Structure formats: C-alpha cells, structure tokens
A = this chain, B = another copy of it.
Amino acid sequence: MDQTADAWPCESLCVAQKTVVPININSLRTACSQCNLRELCLTYGLNEQDLEKLESLVGSRRRIRRGTHLYRAGENFEALYAIRSGFFKTDVLLEDGRDQVTGFQMAGEILGMDGISCESHTCNAIALEDSEVCVIPYSLLESLSREIETLQHNFHKVMSREIVRDHGIMMLLGSMRAEERLSAFLLNMSQRFQARGYSEAEFHLRMTREEIGSYLGLKLETVSRAFSRFQEEGLIAVQQKHIRILDIAGLKRILNHQAI
C-alpha cells in the first residue's frame, strides 16, 4: 500500500519502504521487547534472543516537561533519545538571533543524531508537550550494533531516513509556494498520526503558527492566511490548533502544483 504517498515529496520516490502497521500506544511497559512502539523504533525485526540483549540498551527514561529542553546546541553528545510519548521540535540558532525549526518529532522517532558528527549537539530539542524518552547511550548502541546485525542495519536506516527527510524539506523550502508547503506539512502530519494509530483526518497540532512558519520558511501570518484559504476552499476545517482534513485528494492536488 502506498502509505508513503503523502510523505515528503521525495520520500514518495522510495519504493521499498516498509508499510508501518498502525499500533496501539496505550499500555506502557518497561523494555524494548515489551514496547508498543517497536515497529517504529530501532528494534524493528529483532528476534527474541537479540531483544534480550537489548534490555541493557535503554539506560533509563527521562520525562521532559512541555517547553523544556531535552538537549541544547553545544552540549556534549552522549546519547540518542527514542520518543516514548509526546512531541518535540528541533531548532538551530544563528549568531544574529534568527532561528529555524528543523523538525517536529513524535512517538517512535529518534532524536539526537546531529550530535554524532562532532560529539556535541548542533541543535536544540524542545518538548512541545509533556513527553517521555528512552535514553540510548551512544557508546552502548555502537557496541551492541557491532554484535547485532539487525540493530546495526536499523540504526543506519534511521539515519538515512533522516537524510532523505531533510532532502524533502530542502525541496519544499527551495521550490514550493506557501500553500504547497502547508499542504505538504498537513499531509505529512496526517500520515504520521495515522501510522501511530490515530486519525489521519483529525488531529491537534502541538506547535504554534510561528513554529510551523519557521519550519516551512514562512511568516506566521502567511501560515495563518493559508490555513484560512484552505478552509474557505473546503479542504480543511481549522479551529486554532485543531485540524480536520476534509479533502486529502485536494491537498495532494495543491502539492502537485495543480490549480483547484
């Protein structure tokens, strides 16, 4: 099935990507072998035996209150973080004060890979709602992935996926107009919520218009106006942070540069 069709533009070129089975995120247990997010996380496809070895991988959990940092640019890099629950943004800052949101991350996704290259983080990770992460000490991940081939492979795929995702955003920022960008954003959110067992058509955005704008290379007013126009055209129903998508095909048409 083409669950990838509404991913970032260039991800749709990715034929072999696995179909993510919607999963249930209710009961929370302790280790990877019991984790409901397994299908989305680093441990995908590991056998029972290997999963046992992994019990040591997740050192601890950390709760991050809404609005606080998981890590900051410049801090020492020691661990990756797998999001158990919640919602994050990452952003980078320029000396002159300008900043840019580089991504929004949700349950099952991995944070912190920017830190590997120079052993210190290059961006900030901030919780947009009360969240919980699994702390994955990086040295442990490296040594375990020397033992467990599947883990190694998954880790590489996760990093590569991040690169592909970034290329999609570069495409978006470099060659799309405002409404195309917002359409891509909404479709991407929709698809990710769906992959986690939530509604693809109705969801709460955790970020402000300004954060969306920063991510999409637009001003908050432009984002707001685009939302309003989508609503006028019957593509979505929007009330503050609550979004209901009424016409997915219509949004896709906009993304594909076609007029309504």
Query: Which residues of chain B are near A102, meaning CB under 8 Å?
Result: 167, 170-171
A74 sits at the interface (CB 8 A): yes
Q: Distance in Å from the Cβ of A85 to the closest Cβ of chain B?
A: 24
B120 x A142 contact (CB < 8 A): no
Query: Which B residues touch A169, using CB under 8 A?
Result: 170
Give the Cβ gap from A233 to chain B, nearest Cβ, in Å: 20
Q: Which residue of B lies closest to A153 (CB)?
A: B142
B residues near A119, Cβ cutoff 8 Å: 16
Give 1 or 0 for each of A218-260: 1 = CB within 8 Å of chain B CB.
0000000000000000000000000000000000000011100
Are A217 and B120 interface neighbours, CB within 8 A? no
**Shortest beta-carbon distance, A78 to chain B, in Å?**
13
Beta-carbon contact of B74 and A13 below 8 Å: yes
- Number of residues on chain A facing chain B (CB within 8 A): 62
A62, CB-defined interface residue at 8 Å: no
Residue pair B142, A156 in contact (C-beta under 8 Å) = yes
In the complex, the answer to whether B166 meets A117 with C-beta atoms within 8 Å is: no
Assess whether A1 is interfacial by the CB under 8 Å rule.
Answer: no
Using CB atoms, name the residue of chain B closest to A17. B118
Q: In the bound complex, do residue B116 and residue A157 qualify as a contact, i.e. CB atoms below 8 Å apart?
A: yes
Q: Is the CB of B171 within 8 A of A118?
A: no
Q: How far is the CA of A121 from the CA of B163 in the complex (A)?
A: 12
A95 to B253, CA, bound (A): 11
A170 to B13, CA, bound (A): 21
Q: How far is the CB of A206 from chain B (nearest CB, A)?
A: 20
Residues of B close to A120: CB separation below 8 A? 14-16
Closest to A159 in B: B159
Q: Mark A60-96, 1 if CB is under 8 A from B, else 0.
A: 0000000000000110000000000000000011111
**What are the 9 closest A-B residue pairs judged by CB atoms, nearest first?**
A116-B160, A174-B217, A166-B166, A117-B160, A173-B173, A14-B118, A117-B161, A10-B92, A16-B118
